[in-house]
C-alpha cells in the first residue's frame, strides 16, 4: 500500500479533514490532524448542513458513521418556505412534501455543523487531533515535510493534506491561483433559545428553512440544534464592504438601523432577527476559485475542500464536496490502483477539480438568480419544478 509506514498530517479539523482522518485510520494509517482552535469547544460552528446521498452521506457510509448520523440529524429541518420581503409565503413543503428517507436521491437530511463535527471527532483514535496548533509554514525534509507552527514545536510528516479552508496556508505550496470575489456579501447572525428570544421568527420558521427575496436582496435562515436559529442577510455590494461599511458588528441597534436603511421595503417582522441575535454579527464576503484552475500534482502534498475549491454557498455543495474529496482521496491513496503517490494524487485532483468546477458554476449562477430583480419568481419555479 502506498501509505504503508508513512505519517500523514492533515491541516484543518473541518468535516473534510476529519472525514479523511477517519477513512485513513480505518486502513491502519498513522494520521494526525493539526487544528489551530484551542480545543473542540473553541468557537461556535456555523450554519446547518444538508448532506447529499452521493457525496456527504456516501463518505459517512464508507466511514461506518451513517447509523450515528441517523441518531442526530434534525428531522424536518430540510423543509423549505419561500417568502417575499413582507413575509408572505409563496411556497412551502411543510405539509405536502413527499416522505423521503436515506437512500432516496433527493433526500438531503440536515444536521447541525457542530454535531457532525462531534460525530467525526469521537470516531477517531484518541489524540488524533492536535489542538492549539497554528500552522505557519512547510519545509521540505527527507522526502516529506516539516510542519512549522506558531505556538508549538515542528512535526514531520511523509505527506501533508491541506484541509484548512478558504484562506489555506497549504494552498500556495501547490498553486498560485487565487479566489475571486463573487459580488455577494452575507451578514451572519445567530439566535439562541429562539422560542423565547425570537418567538415570531421561531414560529414563522417552523423548524425548517426560509428563503425570503425582495428588491435584489435576500434573507436566508434555518433551524440549528439546541433551539438556535442561524440567518444571513445576503446582498450584492463591493468587495470591501465589511471593512468600509462603518458598522460596529457588536452593536445590535446599529446593525438593525443598517437593515432598515438598506432593506427599506422589508417588513418589520424581520427586525426580530437583528434584535434577538447574539453579537457580534459576522460579515462574510463570498469568494470562488477560478473555474478553470489547474496545477501539477505533487507526490506528497494535496488539497481538499475549500482549500482546493472554495465556492459560494448557493448550491449547498461546499461541505458535501469536501467530504467527497476525503472519500475519493482516501480511495485513491489506499485502493491499490495506482503505482505511486503522485499518480494517485494526480488522478484524485483532476477529477476533484472537474466536479468542483461544475458545482462552483452552479453556485455562481444560483447566486445571480437569488439576487436578481425576479429572484422570487425564479426560485419559485426552481422549487416548484425540481
Residue 206 labeled ligand binder: no
- Give the cell for residue 110: 440536515
Query: What own/partner pairs with CB < 8 Å and gap ≥ 24 does 141-147 have?
Result: 143/300, 144/7, 144/300, 145/9, 145/300, 145/301, 147/9, 147/11, 147/34
CA-CA distance, 241 to 259, in Å (whole number)?
14
Residue 113 labeled ligand binder: yes
Residue 112 neighbours by CB under 8 Å, 6+ apart: 45, 48, 49, 74, 224, 225, 226
Alpha carbon 196 to its chain's center: 28
**8 Å CB contact between 300 and 159:** yes
Closest CA relative to residue 337, chosen from 351, 323, 358: 351
**8 Å CB contact between 187 and 281:** yes
Closest CA relative to residue 20, chosen from 361, 337, 352: 352
Residue 306 labeled ligand binder: yes
DSSP characters over 118-162: HHHHHHSPTT-EE-S--EEEEEEETTEEEEEESSS--EEESEEEE
CA-CA distance, 13 to 38, in Å (whole number)?
12
Residue 143 neighbours by CB under 8 Å, 6+ apart: 158, 300
DSSP one-letter code for 99: P
- Give the cell for residue 295: 496545477
CA-CA distance, 5 to 33, in Å (whole number)?
17
Tell me the three state secondary structure of residue 240: coil
Closest CA relative to residue 244, chosen from 283, 278, 188: 283
Which residues make up each annotated binding site for NADPH?
43
Q: Which residues are annotated as a binding site?
A: 43, 50, 113, 306
**Binding-site annotation, residues for FAD:** 50, 113, 306
Amino acid at each position: 500500500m502506498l501509505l504503508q509506514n508513512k505519517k500523514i498530517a492533515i491541516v484543518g479539523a473541518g468535516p473534510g479533514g476529519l472525514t479523511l482522518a477517519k477513512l485513513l485510520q480505518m486502513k491502519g494509517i498513522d494520521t494526525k490532524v493539526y487544528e489551530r482552535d484551542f480545543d473542540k469547544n473553541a468557537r461556535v460552528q456555523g450554519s446547518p448542513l444538508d448532506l447529499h446521498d452521493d457525496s456527504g452521506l456516501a463518505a459517512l457510509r464508507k466511514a461506518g458513521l451513517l447509523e450515528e448520523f441517523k441518531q442526530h440529524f434534525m428531522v424536518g429541518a430540510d423543509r423549505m418556505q419561500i417568502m417575499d420581503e413582507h413575509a408572505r409565503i409563496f411556497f412551502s413543503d411543510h405539509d405536502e412534501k413527499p416522505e423521503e428517507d436515506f437512500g432516496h436521491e433527493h433526500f438531503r437530511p440536515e444536521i447541525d455543523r457542530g454535531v457532525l463535527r462531534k460525530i467525526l471527532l469521537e470516531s477517531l483514535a484518541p489524540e488524533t487531533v492536535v489542538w492549539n496548533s497554528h500552522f505557519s509554514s512547510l519545509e521540505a525534509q527527507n522526502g516529506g515535510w516539516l510542519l512549522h507552527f506558531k505556538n508549538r514545536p515542528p512535526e514531520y510528516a511523509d505527506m501533508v493534506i491541506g484541509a484548512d479552508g478558504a484562506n489555506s496556508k497549504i494552498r500556495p505550496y501547490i498553486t498560485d491561483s487565487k479566489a475571486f470575489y463573487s459580488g455577494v456579501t452575507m451578514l451572519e447572525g445567530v439566535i439562541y433559545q429562539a422560542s423565547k428570544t425570537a418567538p415570531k421568527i421561531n414560529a414563522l420558521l417552523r423548524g425548517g428553512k426560509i428563503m425570503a427575496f425582495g428588491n435584489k436582496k435576500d434573507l436566508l435562515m434555518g433551524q440549528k440544534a439546541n433551539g438556535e436559529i442561524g440567518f444571513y442577510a445576503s446582498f450584492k455590494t463591493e468587495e470591501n464592504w465589511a471593512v468600509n461599511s462603518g458598522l460596529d458588528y457588536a452593536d445590535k441597534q446599529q446593525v438593525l438601523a443598517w437593515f432598515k436603511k438598506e432593506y427599506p421595503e422589508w417588513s418589520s417582522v424581520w427586525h426580530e432577527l437583528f434584535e434577538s441575535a447574539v453579537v457580534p454579527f459576522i460579515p462574510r464576503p463570498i469568494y470562488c476559485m477560478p473555474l478553470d484552475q489547474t496545477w501539477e500534482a505533487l507526490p506528497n502534498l494535496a488539497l481538499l475542500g475549500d482549500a482546493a475549491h472554495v465556492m459560494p454557498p448557493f448550491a449547498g455543495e461546499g461541505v458535501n464536496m469536501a467530504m467527497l474529496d476525503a472519500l475519493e482521496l482516501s480511495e485513491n491513496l489506499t485502493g491499490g490502483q495506482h503505482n505511486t503517490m503522485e499518480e494517485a494524487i494526480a488522478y484524485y485532483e483532476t477529477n476533484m477539480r472537474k466536479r468542483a468546477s461544475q458545482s462552483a458554476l452552479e453556485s455562481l449562477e444560483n447566486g445571480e438568480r437569488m439576487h436578481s430583480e425576479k429572484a422570487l419568481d425564479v426560485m419559485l419555479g426552481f422549487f416548484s419544478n425540481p
